[in-house]
Each structure stands twice: as structure tokens, then as C-alpha cells.
């Protein structure tokens, strides 16, 4: 340890002064790739912990109703249906062309689909659509800043509160999954007080939050009183005792919040 302590100041001076050195650039690239893997920057639902989360809930009889917000063509809904053949799955996708693919992919699987977005207010809004349908977003920013060329179409926007008021028999949402490219905070706000009906919330968190200007700091400020907050990994969730700014690395992919009324679920997810 003493050797490293004495070497660190030397390296700290040497490395930044020789940034164009090919070997140092190679080491930097390797370390970045390693860190991304270490922090589970993986969007494959089968391997990044999303499938595991569904299985844990199903195996403990806690997978009764899944909301898939930002369903795209239905990949997540299909995985949820594979895990549980009977649970209620409700998918929301506002882009008409993408919705048609969702409809085709979920045909005869008893997955409820809705061709509108969930947000913080009722009405219509412009959504940006790119060649990659997974990047569609209602977030108000110029897509060119993110290196994307987009067109804008008008879509319907409703709220989670409005939906639940029309579903008087739906008392509990087992899992609210949100993938809306930075629009996640608006989706959550739209549930209003009905957010207490949700056991687990899973949402993407990454660089799109630079444009939403809503960070983990804000999630802790707005939700930590009622939810435990942590990051999803392949073997479970690492829950945070409190916020610190090192958590706001914007690496992604998924944050999980567990309702504090369901300490049993916290225990189940922390066990893995």
C-alpha cells in the first residue's frame, strides 16, 4: 500500500501530461470498458437483472400486475408474460407505427395495449421519433444535441392517475417499469397520490437525464420518504442508505424503488 501511496502523486502528474501516449490511451479505454461492465451498463433484459426481478416477484407470488410504460414493440411485456402466464400486463406506447408492431407482437397473449403516452398532464404533445424506435421521447430537447436526427409527431398523453381512477378494481401495481428516454420523472408525477399503489418501480437512468434536469438527487428528494432506492444488477439490487453525489454518474441502465410498505420485497431483492 505504501508503494502505491508514494507512486500516486507521480502518476497523477505524469499521466495527464502524456495523454497522447498510445499505451496510456489504451489503458484508459480498457479501464472505461471495464467500469461500464462493472456497473452493469447492459440493456439486455435477459441478463442485466430485469428478468431476475420479474422471476423473484413471480416466485414469491408478488407478480400480479405489470405496467410497461414506453413499451416500444413489446419486448419487456413478452418477457413478463413468459415469466407469468396469468398476471395482468398493461403496455403503453404512443408512436402509432411502433404501436402497430406492439399490437402484432402481443397478439393473443392477453397483454392490454394502449396507444398513448403516460405523463404529468392530459392533452397532446410532440414526440421525437428516430430510426431507432427505442429512442423516441417526449422530453423537450433538440435530438441533434444527442447526435440523432428526428422527426416530430403529435401523440396523446394521459396520466397514471387518470388511468387508475378508471380501474376501480386495480388496487395494486406489482411492478411499474418505465423506459421513456428521460421522461420518467413526468410519468411518475402523473400518478399523483396513486404512486402509493405501486410496490416496485423500475426505470432507466442515464444521460437523457442531462436534458430532463432531474437526477438521482431529485429522486431521493421526492421519493426517498416513501421508497427505498437502489440500482439493479444481474443478481439483485444494491440499495442506497442515503444520497451522495457519486451516485449521479449517469451510467445507467436501471434504478429500482421499493415501496416502504413492502419491506418483505426489499428483503427479497437485497438477498440476491
Residues 111 and 53 in one domain: yes
* Strand runs labelled E in the chain: 65-69, 88-92, 111-114, 117-119, 123-129, 151-159, 173-178, 198-204, 227-233, 236-239, 254-259
Residues 26 and 148 in one domain: no
Whether the pLDDT of residue 1 is over 60: the answer is no
How many Å apart are CA 27 and CA 237, to the nearest integer?
Answer: 30
Residues 90 and 188 in one domain: yes
How many Å apart are CA 76 and CA 45, to the nearest integer?
Answer: 7
94-105: pLDDT as tens digits: 999 999 999 999
Residues 54 and 29 in one domain: no
Q: How many folded domains does the chain comprise?
A: 2
Confidence (pLDDT) at 211:
86
Neighbours of 42 (CB within 10 A): 19
180-222: pLDDT as tens digits: 988 999 999 999 999 999 999 999 999 889 889 999 999 999 9
The set of cell numbers assigned to 81 is 408474460
Full domain range(s) for residue 55: 44-270
Please answer whether residues 136 and 127 qualify as being in contact, where contact means their C-beta atoms are separated by less than 8 angstroms.
yes
**DSSP letter string, 72-99:** TTSHHHHHHHHH-SSSEEEEE---HHHH
How many Å apart are CA 52 and CA 56, to the nearest integer?
Answer: 6
* Angle (nearest 5°) at CA 110 between 105 and 111: 60
Confidence (pLDDT) at 106:
97
pTM of the predicted model, to two decimals?
0.92
Q: How many CA atoms lie within 13 A of 15 on its CB side?
A: 12
Residue 34: pLDDT band with limits 50, 70, 90: very high
Residues 14 and 86 in one domain: no
Residues 219 and 110 in one domain: yes
Residues 13 and 96 in one domain: no
249-269: pLDDT as tens digits: 999 899 999 999 999 999 999
Q: How far is CA 164 from the centre of its chain?
A: 21
Confidence (pLDDT) at 154:
92
Residues 26 and 79 in one domain: no
Could you tell me the CATH number of the domain that includes residue 87? 3.40.50.150
108-167: pLDDT as tens digits: 999 999 999 999 999 999 988 877 777 788 887 655 544 557 788 999 999 999 999 999
Residues 133 and 232 in one domain: yes
Residues 79 and 156 in one domain: yes
User: Of 131, 53, 69, whose CA–CA distance to 102 is shortest?
Assistant: 69
Q: Which residue has the cell 441533434?
A: 144
Please answer whether residues 93 and 71 qualify as being in contact, where contact means their C-beta atoms are separated by less than 8 angstroms.
yes
Averaged pLDDT of the chain? 92
Q: Compute the average pLDDT of residues 56-76.
A: 97
Q: Which residue has the cell 413526468?
A: 186
Whether the pLDDT of residue 7 is over 80: the answer is no
Please answer whether residues 153 and 174 qualify as being in contact, where contact means their C-beta atoms are separated by less than 8 angstroms.
no
**DSSP for residue 1:** -
Residues 32 and 118 in one domain: no
Residues 106 and 34 in one domain: no
Confidence (pLDDT) at 130:
79
Amino acid at each position: 500500500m505504501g508503494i502505491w501511496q508514494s507512486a500516486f502523486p507521480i502518476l497523477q502528474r505524469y499521466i495527464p501530461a502524456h495523454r497522447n501516449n498510445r499505451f496510456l490511451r489504451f489503458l484508459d479505454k480498457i479501464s472505461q470498458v471495464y467500469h461500464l461492465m462493472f456497473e452493469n451498463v447492459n440493456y439486455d433484459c435477459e441478463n442485466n437483472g430485469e428478468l431476475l426481478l420479474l422471476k423473484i416477484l413471480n416466485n414469491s407470488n408478488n407478480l400480479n400486475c405489470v405496467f410497461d410504460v414506453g413499451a416500444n414493440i413489446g419486448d419487456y411485456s413478452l418477457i413478463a408474460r413468459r415469466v407469468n402466464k396469468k398476471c395482468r400486463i398493461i403496455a403503453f406506447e404512443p408512436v402509432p407505427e411502433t404501436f402497430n408492431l406492439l399490437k402484432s407482437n402481443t397478439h393473443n397473449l392477453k397483454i392490454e395495449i394502449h396507444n398513448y403516452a403516460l405523463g404529468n398532464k392530459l392533452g397532446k404533445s410532440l414526440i421525437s421519433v428516430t430510426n431507432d424506435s427505442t429512442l423516441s421521447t417526449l422530453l423537450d430537447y433538440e435530438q441533434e444535441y444527442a447526435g440523432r436526427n428526428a422527426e416530430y409527431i403529435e401523440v396523446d398523453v394521459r396520466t397514471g392517475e387518470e388511468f387508475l381512477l378508471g380501474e376501480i378494481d386495480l388496487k395494486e401495481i406489482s411492478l411499474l417499469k418505465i423506459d421513456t428516454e428521460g421522461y420518467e420523472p413526468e410519468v411518475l408525477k402523473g400518478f399523483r397520490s396513486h404512486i402509493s399503489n405501486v410496490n416496485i418501480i423500475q426505470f432507466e437512468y442515464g444521460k437523457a437525464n442531462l436534458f430532463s434536469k432531474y437526477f438521482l438527487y431529485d429522486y431521493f428528494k421526492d421519493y426517498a420518504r416513501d421508497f427505498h432506492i437502489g440500482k439493479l444488477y444481474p443478481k439483485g439490487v444494491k440499495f442506497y442508505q442515503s444520497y451522495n453525489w457519486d451516485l449521479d454518474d449517469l451510467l445507467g441502465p436501471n434504478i429500482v424503488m421499493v415501496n416502504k410498505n413492502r419491506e418483505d420485497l426489499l428483503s427479497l431483492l437485497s438477498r440476491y
